[in-house]
A and B are shown apart, each in its own frame.
Chain A
Amino acid sequence: MTIQKEVFLVFILMFLIIVSVFFLVFLSSRRSGALQNVNSKRAIFFFIAFGTVSLVLGISLPKSPYFLYAKEAPAQRIFVVARQFSFTLSKSPINSADDLGKSAGSEFKLPKDEIIEFNVSSLDVNHGFSLYKDGVLLAQVQAMPGYVNRLRWKFSESGNYDILCLEYCGIAHGGMSAKITVE
């Protein structure tokens, strides 16, 4: 199951819990007789909420994508430059529009099971660099002019990957894409 579907299921579960609580309280409003020991119930409510938040933070922060393969050396550096409305991928750095000729165009081949470091930037506005496999979003990073964002990724499956622009960048944003083949 993909991460986003897991998140969706957790969300639906929480949705049902919250709706049930509110609905039960709503139904109870037909009767009278106020709640006893409000203070201690409030304390328990807070204690549970505080505990959950701390637990989630402790577990999830170390999983942040900034640390992906951070301790290993990447096998390859791929330089990605976005501009309205296309991506250019290259094995050598691209610093300006003049360097774009050196690139291999928007169709690109990469090896499987190796750590690739994508060095992502933009020549005009903000864009988003994302990796899709069979319509599932696997990873992304912003492409910001004047900055290089480094994303490390290991392709565990061979086949075709789609790169879509994920930051609104103007009129043809929806059509801004490229392809990678992994083998």
Chain B
Amino acid sequence: MNTSYKKSTLLWLITTLIVFLVAIAFGLTMRMEQAEMVKIGPLNFYVLMTSHGLLMAGVWFVAGMAGIEYILSTYFPVPRWGGMIAYVCTITGVVILLISTFLTKFHAGWYFLYPLPFYAKVMESGPLLFLVALTILGVGWLIWSLVLIFTILRNFTVAQALAWHHISGRPGPTVAPFILISFVSLIGVTACILAAVVLLVLYYLEFLKSGSMSNDPLLMKNLTFFFGHTLVNEMLYLGLAVLYELFPRMAGKPAYKTSWYVGLSWNATLLIVLFAYFHHLYMDFAQPVAFQFVGQIMSWFAPLPAACVTIFSVLTTVYRSNMKWSLASLLYFFGVMFWAIGGVGAILDAVIANNFVLHNTQWVPAHFHTYNLLGNVFFSLAFTSWFADEIGNKKIAPGLVKLIFSLLVTGGVGFVLAFYLGGAFSVPRRVDTYNDVVNKGVSLAQMAVVFASLYLVGMVIYTFDFTKRCARQLFS
């Protein structure tokens, strides 16, 4: 393996870990404001909320992409410039983004629901800077994703990359599950970045006119969630693609094969995922009821193929495997468990009749933090840990494995449980301080502060150890 691939992957991972720590600190500060332990005021709260949401979505997306690029480069040569452009765009985009939120106090939330960006500003330049930041991120990531897609297509046809010959049993080259899942996810990523481009163009046009509202709010909301929901879903699949490659190795088992049902389920996922986003609009009664039903049906069928196949494979791999556990394999195995648990939280909320009393309560951050904080982040940390063992000259100390793992699990579970309880007690999401009607939110926030701090301590130790073991390689 070429060391320059290793260096650039290492750069991505260190950057990810550092930004993650900063974003956790933002989240913790929000929870402390809700717990009435600090007093930062609503404007700063929403500035933090906007920055936290985007940093988190962005950082775990690029971590997933970096994992894909690295594993792909063990199959075929991958052009380096895609990742490099993406890195420059990511850093530039994040800097401009933070300027727009912290300096010009832009605070419309991470998915900036139309027409809020035209209202949630303190300075005129705020929304424009924000749009520019998103454009830079979007362009960089689109290029990266296309470079990876074309790398796959230089070696396989589209039909082969989608494993259609494995499904039908016809002869053809062996396509590993990693290639199939990466290809499916990259197509999804490209689709949602394109939706974001359309959305941004509509915003720019309205911004130039700077008159009254010129776009259709319902259409804009559909576009927003097509992009937002899909991006967050695909980013999980990027992590899963790498899991399919690495987990059997960690368990000392033969590599997973693309059997007909693995092929079929990921092809189904490619389609289903594009229609599930309708569940974000259940409470828009003006949306056609047919779309609402498609939303619930697709949300419930979405987990069947990919999640069931993955969960079943991981469980049978571990069952009586006599395997030696490492931090990486622990994070993969229990990451899949928490992903499944977060999925249960998600589909319960995706029942329209339940959504009627759960929409925009803390049930929403509860479920998505479960499969991010304890699922997707665990997948990426598993890759990071595996990678550190590949390149570092020292292994992680066994005592540290136990310490880090228990801090992340205890902290994470307690933190999301406070959100689930918030949902059960009708506490709304995205509120800086709770009024008398929903004052249960305050004590739940206090509970969350304690647990989030444990998680943060775990991540600080992890990052410190990782950097200590690997940073030297960056300059060697």
Which of A's residues lie within 8 Å of B, judged by CB? 2-5, 7-8, 10-11, 14-15, 18-19, 21-22, 25-26, 28-35, 38, 41-42, 45-46, 49-50, 53, 56-57, 60-61, 63-66, 84, 124-126, 128, 132, 135-142, 144-151, 162, 164, 166-175, 177
Contacts and interface: CB of A to CB of B under 8 A. Distances in A.
B113 interface: yes
B377 to A, nearest CB: 18
A146 B220 CA distance: 12
Given A22-B315, A30-B322, A126-B116, A164 B438 contact: yes
Nearest to B370: A15
Contact of A148 (B286, B318, B437): B286
B320 interface: yes
A42 B312 contact: yes
Q: Shortest 10 CB-CB distances between A and B: which pairs?
A: A8-B424, A32-B322, A137-B426, A174-B431, A63-B353, A64-B352, A149-B285, A168-B430, A147-B286, A22-B337
Nearest to B344: A14
B277 interface: no
A78 B213 CA distance: 26
Contact of A141 (B283, B315, B349, B361): B283
A29 B322 contact: yes
Given A31-B320, A146-B216, A7 B358 contact: yes
Contact of B434 (A49, A148, A171, A174): A174
Contact of B333 (A22, A139, A170): A22
A18 B334 CA distance: 11
Contact of A166 (B296, B360, B440): B360
A128 B353 CA distance: 17
Contacts of A65: 285, 352-353, 356
A31 B321 CA distance: 7
B308 A49 contact: yes
A57 to B, nearest CB: 6
B304 interface: yes
Interface in B30-59: 42-43, 46
B322 A177 contact: no
Contact of B426 (A50, A136, A147): A136
Contacts of B115: 124-125, 145
Interface in B276-324: 283-286, 289, 292-293, 296-297, 300-301, 304, 308, 312, 315-316, 318-323
11 contacts: A3-B356, A3-B357, A11-B344, A28-B320, A56-B351, A64-B293, A125-B119, A128-B360, A141-B285, A149-B286, A173-B431
B312 A31 contact: no
B353 A64 contact: yes
B354 interface: yes
A126 B354 CA distance: 21
Interface of B: 42-43, 46, 107, 109, 113, 115-116, 119-120, 213, 216-218, 221, 261, 283-286, 289, 292-293, 296-297, 300-301, 304, 308, 312, 315-316, 318-323, 325, 333-334, 336-337, 340-341, 344-345, 348-349, 351-354, 356-361, 363, 420-421, 423-426, 428, 430-435, 437-440
Given A14-B344, A49-B308, A142-B284, A4 B423 contact: yes
Given A25-B318, A147-B284, A140 B120 contact: no
Given A3-B354, A125-B116, A57 B297 contact: yes
Contact of A147 (B218, B308, B348, B437): B218
Contacts of A25: 315, 318-319
Contact of B359 (A35, A144, A166): A166
Given A25-B318, A35-B319, A174-B435, 18 more contacts: A3-B357, A4-B424, A10-B348, A18-B340, A22-B334, A22-B337, A34-B321, A35-B320, A61-B293, A125-B115, A125-B119, A126-B116, A132-B426, A132-B437, A135-B440, A147-B286, A164-B438, A167-B360
Contact of A21 (B315, B421, B433, B439): B315
A42 to B, nearest CB: 6
Contacts of B360: 128, 140, 166-167
A7 B336 CA distance: 22
B421 A8 contact: yes
Contacts of A56: 300, 351
A36 B429 CA distance: 47
B95 to A, nearest CB: 25
A35 to B, nearest CB: 5
A112 to B, nearest CB: 21
Nearest to A149: B285
A21 B344 CA distance: 15
